[in-house]
Structure formats: C-alpha cells, structure tokens
Chains A and B, each alone.
Chain A
C-alpha cells in the first residue's frame, strides 16, 4: 500500500502552511457554531433547490449532494503547475480532435493506433472534414485529477463531452463566502465567480463567421435530467435562453427558437445533450430530445454546436493512454501532468497481469461513467472480484486497469468532528481565443470512511476549492 497524502497535515502531523489560517479558525470557533454553520449550509441548499436526480430512483426524486464546509486548499505554487499542465493538455486534446477530423497526421505517423480512433464508438464520421469555428471542439472541458500517496497529481480522466458539476463549484463558493467571510479576509483566494462571463465569451467566439451579435442558448434534455439544475443555473447566469429540442426548429439550414414574438435565429448552443440525441436526422433516429436538421445547419456553417459532436473520441478511456503522446506530437513539449499508468485489457499480456492482480487494481469499463461499471479491487469482496472477473473475460477489450491510487485525504466534517476523507478534483477549462483555466474547480469527497468512490451518485459530497493567490512566507509547496 502506498503512503497516504493528507492535504492539511504533513507526514509528521504538522499543519501545512497553506492550511494554517483554516486550522486557526477551526480552533477558535466553538463546536456549536461550526455545527450551526453546517446546518445553515444544508438548509440553504435545500431551500434553493440545488438538487440532482438519481437514476434508478423513483422518477422526479431529487436529492441534495452533501456539502462539506471544510475547504480543499491548493497553494499558489502548486496551482501554477496545475494550470500550466491543464492548459497544455486541453490545448493538445483540441489539436488532436482537429487532426482526427482533418488530416489525421497523428494516425498516419502511427503515434496513435488508427483503428482505435476510427473504430471507436465515439468517433463521428459525420464530423470528418468539417472545419469548426476557431478549431475548437471541446469548448468546456473538465479534467479529473487526483493526488496520490507520493504527493503527485495524476490525471484520472478527461471529460470533453458534457462535463457537469460547475454549478456546484459556483454555488459552493457563494455558500462559503456567506458562511465564513472571515476566512476570505485572511487570505487571498482566487475568484471563480467569472465563470459564466467567460463561458458566454467563448460561446460567442464560437459563432459562425460574420455574425455580429450572436444569440446563444443552453440546450437541455429537460427538467427530468439529473443535471437540470445546472443547465438552468448556467442559462440564468449567462442571461440566455434555456431551450429544449422542441423549442428549436430548422428552416433553410438555419436554427430558430420559437418565441412569443415569432421565430428567432439562434447561432450557438451550449448543448448538454449527448451526441446521439442531438439530431434524429444525423444521429439516433429515435431521439425525441433533438432537433431534426440541426447538424445540417452546423455543417452549413450557420450554427455552432458546443461542445462539438465527436469529442468523445478524445476522452474515451481507451484513448486516454495516448494523451501524453499527443502533447509531444502537437506541442513538442513534455507533458506537465502525469497520466495514471494504464493497462489495456485488449492486450493479452496486460489482461493476464490484471487477472492475476485484481485485488490490487482498479478496473474500469472503457465507456463507463459516473462510477458505474467499475471495480475497486482493495475495497471489494472476493465474490465481487470473481463476478467482475467473469465480466472482464466476456469482453476484455471493454476494460482498462490501473493501480489503485491512494487518493489524498482532506479534513472533512463528519459525526465525530473533523476526519480525513478521500478527495479528487475536477478543474474546468474554457477554450476560445484564449484558454481560461478556472482557479479551483469541483472537489468531490467520499464521505464514507476509507471509500475511494467520490461520485455523487454513489454517496459522494462536494467541497469548495480554494486556490491561494500567494503562498505564505515559509511555504515550501
């Protein structure tokens, strides 16, 4: 087992410099006051209705994602490295997508296996040869990071389709600013509040050429979707319409929305619908969520879909191992952020190794998401491991395996007081003419002791993420 890395305390149990203000605050705040603040946060989230629906529960059920008031704090020097690494990675991923749907240089030179890309379920033939505005495919990216026992950050996965959770980043910050203003006064915490402005900026930049005042809308599958709150929140924060497929129609290869004043042209949608459901004429014909003809309007250059269809070919778990190679290939730079060493079970040698070491490994479905369809070896029973072994053997190419990283821990308020719980981090990166790396992101926390699964659908919670703008003297981050 690897050593464990705690964000607040070093191996000797001393409080790290960037946590000293927080530590001081906790020591000087009476327990009933802390409890009161926790309750206030919970009540407020309930009242405002920041909820998410859980698949599999009775329809219309809404649940609150637990919020923890102990922040995850990142020192300035550490963030400078992460920011550069994220910028580099997302830049390379966008170049990769442009290449795959363009000249395919990286495939021709054999740096990424051709069949793995062109045979990938996420590859969209319809995008081939299409020039997209600004060459940007993934306008909004969420890159999942973890810090392992060695203190190093690793990229766990890239999310380039419709990454969610950013509303929690914003709401958590709003909540913390209300609950503990005194802590914001004691240190410089980088602001994340401008996210909606930046998002609107890059969406407008994505408009078809020659449009002066582009109309942007957020496209949602509807109120029954688990992330509906976020769709509504972002539309409201940007001051644009929140549309469903039925609100849009295509006429003369242009997209319009149905308004009380008649049809109104729409130039850009920030869509929160999967590729498959965008347009029944281009993709799945049984989609009731999409807009017939929308993809054709996109192809004609009259309309922009953000993120572009087909970005999944770059964030697929089978492509993930090649991202460092993309960075070297397109940018001629060494990757700043590490990948987790990954075994592809399509490879007989890797399969053999994995089957022999299942109790130590994490095995993931290549197309799985949300913590479904994965095995965390060290946390699983013998029976669970054996059941999973059968699933792997039935279709090894559907799985990858990684060493179990000992996710870093962060102090978290639980029944017995502050206790360490495992966390990850999803920073958000917006790509337009400039790349905006939002300082912070969504920290998810596994609330169950020892658990490594942070997904909200599996009992995870969230924390505010504080990036310090300057490190205190004597910090050696």
Chain B
C-alpha cells in the first residue's frame, strides 16, 4: 500500500474518532455545568468549560479569540469553529476529503457514509444548535462515528487499509481516555479510601461515566457506588471497557504485530511496552506515584508511538533498495 494511502486512512479514522470524543467531552462538560447550584455554590459558571478546554490545551486560544469562556464559546469552538482544526466541523470535512482522495482504497459504502456525514455537518451552525439543542447534536456526532465504524467493519476487507484505519481509531481513543479522565480527576479527588468526597464529586464522576456510555459497564463490573478510584481503573486498566486505555493499547499492539508480519520493528516494541505497562499496573500504585505524572507520561509515549508509526509506514525514504518483502508483495499483487 502507498504511504500516502496509509497516512490518509489513518487520519480518516483519527478524525472521526476525534469528532466523537469531542462530542463526549462536550457531553461530560455540559452535565457538570448543569450541576444544581446549591451543590456547587462556590464555583464560577465558567469553571467546567475552562477545565474542558484545559484538557485540550486550548483555553488560552478560546479566551483570546472569543474574549470569554462559557457554554456558548466552548460549544462554538468545539463543534463549529473553522479555525479549530479539531472541531467536529473540520474533523468531518478533513475525513471526507481524505476519503475522497482514497476512494480506491475504501469501499463505496464507506465513502458514501462519510459523504453523508459531511453533507449533514456542513450545514451545522449556531442557529441549528439552538433549535435542536446541543444534546441532540452530540448524539448525531456519536451516531455518525458509529455508522462509519460499522460500515468499515461490515464492508472493508481485512487488508492493510483496515489495519491503518484501526490504528488511527485506537491511538486517538487512547489519547482521549486520558484527556477525558483529566477533566474530572485531580489529585485530591483520589484519596486512599476512593470514596466520593461529596455530592458534587459524585455528580462529576457519574457525568463522566454517562458521557462515556460506561455507566452500565461500571455497575456490572464493580457492583459498587460511584468511586473515583474504581472509575480511574475502569478508564485506564480495564480490558472489558471498549474505551479504556488498556483496550486501546492492546489493540494497537495487536494491529502493529499483524502489520509487521513477524519482523521485529521498533514500532511493535513501543506498542508492546505501552500495553504491558498498563496491563501489569495497579491503580493504587498509579495513584500513590502521582496520577497526573503517570497520565502525562502515557500521553508522551502515545505521541512517540504515533511518530514511530509514521516513520515506519508512511515515509518510505528515497534511495533505499527495495526490501525483499516489498518484492514478494509486488509479485502477489500482480498475480
């Protein structure tokens, strides 16, 4: 497969996953912001919105651009903004353009699905959001993401293209598992007892579970009341949670092993180290050692893995003699 094709497909999946997680971030933030005032008297109205933007490192940008941080400006920035390359609008635009460039490598249904999504979000503006409500838009984004994932799984052959799409989905989702946790977690929220400190905290952690569609999973797995320590474990270490860090890095490791086809590549080693790191971790150890430092270290490793994926598969340098493997593939593809 061409490097450019692999790169484009990887980013199609990342963009779609990013749109979905952006919607989920908006969801959790909106839930927290709706916290009854009597429970959260001390806090300014903008606090949850600022926190959401902080998780993306975008608070200063939004403040400079809009002059204030609140529900309206954050929603505009995350859903509609043309200047924010990761807004839902831009995610679907770029994903559709990449898919159009790569329509040879994907199925007609996949392109049609993204085209439909783009036609839908192209017309999105503040008026539509007011009419339908932010909640309805969040649901639409999640549905479009699910539709694209479904049509991909249901129609695309399990070749390289499929694998690169999966890499994009799961590296993006891993990144967001950490950022979303970061929105509600802070050091003093995670005492040794793991009990929710008060009603406010209980509400915030519940909001996170709901925004991640993980409430039922949590209840089933832990049969416990909402407890920050256990939720952190669910988000980071639990292989049964489809959005946990553990699920994502395990998937990345497996896909990369498949792509390497038995060759010992640095990119496989990095993914394996990342998967092992959380597989054999204990949540209490992570919290004792400092959750924020652990999360930051994980984010850094994910960035390095992303760079290594790019170096290994998407940037064939000039002047290399073709590898023996490339030769054998070439014969196959022409057979």
Q: Give the B-binding residues of A (Cβ under 8 A).
A: 47-49, 213-215, 222-223, 232, 235-236, 239, 241-244, 246-247, 249, 251, 256-265
Contact = CB atoms under 8 A, between A and B. Distances in A.
Contacts of B326: 259, 261-264
A242 B104 contact: yes
B331 interface: yes
Nearest to A217: B2
Given A49-B115, A249-B318, A261 B329 contact: yes
Interface residues of B, number: 37
Contacts of A243: 2
B112 A49 contact: yes
B319 interface: yes
Given A223-B97, A260-B313, A264-B322, 9 more contacts: A47-B112, A213-B334, A213-B335, A235-B104, A259-B326, A260-B2, A260-B314, A262-B323, A265-B322
A87 B89 CA distance: 52
Considering residues B314, B323, B325, B326, which has the most beta carbons from chain A within 10 angstroms of its beta carbon?
B326
Interface in B293-335: 313-316, 318-323, 325-327, 329-331, 333-335
Top 9 A-B residue pairs of the complex, sorted by shortest distance between their CB atoms? A258-B316, A223-B101, A260-B313, A258-B3, A261-B326, A249-B318, A262-B323, A236-B104, A213-B334
Given A214-B334, A246-B4, A247-B3, A263 B322 contact: yes
Contact of A259 (B3, B101, B104, B115): B3
11 contacts: A241-B5, A244-B4, A246-B4, A249-B318, A251-B319, A256-B322, A262-B326, A263-B318, A263-B320, A263-B321, A264-B330
B108 interface: yes
A263 B333 CA distance: 15
B1 interface: yes
B94 to A, nearest CB: 12
B6 interface: yes
B310 to A, nearest CB: 11
B249 to A, nearest CB: 21
A232 B100 CA distance: 9
A222 B102 CA distance: 10
A205 to B, nearest CB: 14
Given A47-B112, A49-B111, A262 B316 contact: yes
B316 A213 contact: no
Contacts of A244: 4
Contacts of B329: 259, 261, 264
B2 A259 contact: yes
A335 to B, nearest CB: 39
Given A213-B331, A213-B334, A262-B325, A222 B101 contact: yes
A334 B268 CA distance: 68
A259 B331 contact: no
Contacts of B63: none
Nearest to A234: B104
A213 B3 CA distance: 22
Contacts, number: 87
B149 interface: no
Among B3, B111, B313, the most chain A Cβ lie within 10 Å of the Cβ of: B3
Contacts of A249: 318
B4 A258 contact: yes
Contacts of A241: 2, 5, 104
B292 interface: no
Interface string B95-112: 001001101100010011
Contacts of B5: 241
A244 B316 CA distance: 15
A213 B330 contact: yes
Contacts of B97: 223
B104 A262 contact: no
B70 interface: no
Contacts of A236: 103-104
A247 B111 CA distance: 22
B320 to A, nearest CB: 5
B189 interface: no
Contacts of B327: 264
A11 B252 CA distance: 72
A88 B333 CA distance: 36
Contacts of B103: 49, 232, 236
Nearest to B100: A223
Contacts of B318: 249, 251, 256, 263
A215 B104 contact: no
B160 interface: yes
B322 A258 contact: no
A244 B334 CA distance: 20
Nearest to B321: A263
A227 B7 CA distance: 23
A259 B320 contact: no
A401 to B, nearest CB: 42
B148 to A, nearest CB: 16
Contacts of A49: 100, 103, 111-112, 115
Interface string B75-92: 000000000000000000
Contacts of A261: 1, 323, 325-326, 329
Nearest to B314: A260
A264 B334 CA distance: 13
Contacts of A48: 108, 112
Contacts of B323: 261-262
Residue with the highest number of chain B CB atoms closer than 10 Å, among A244, A261, A265: A261
A259 B319 contact: no
B106 to A, nearest CB: 10
A263 B334 contact: no
B316 A259 contact: yes
Given A47-B112, A264-B326, A215 B100 contact: no
A241 B333 CA distance: 10
A289 to B, nearest CB: 14
Nearest to B163: A260
Given A213-B334, A264-B322, A265-B330, A232 B104 contact: yes
A215 B330 contact: yes
Interface in B144-160: 160
A330 B218 CA distance: 83
A258 B2 contact: yes
A443 to B, nearest CB: 25
A125 B218 CA distance: 74
Nearest to B164: A260
B205 to A, nearest CB: 42
A249 to B, nearest CB: 4
A260 B160 contact: yes
A167 to B, nearest CB: 12
Interface in B1-45: 1-6
Nearest to A229: B103
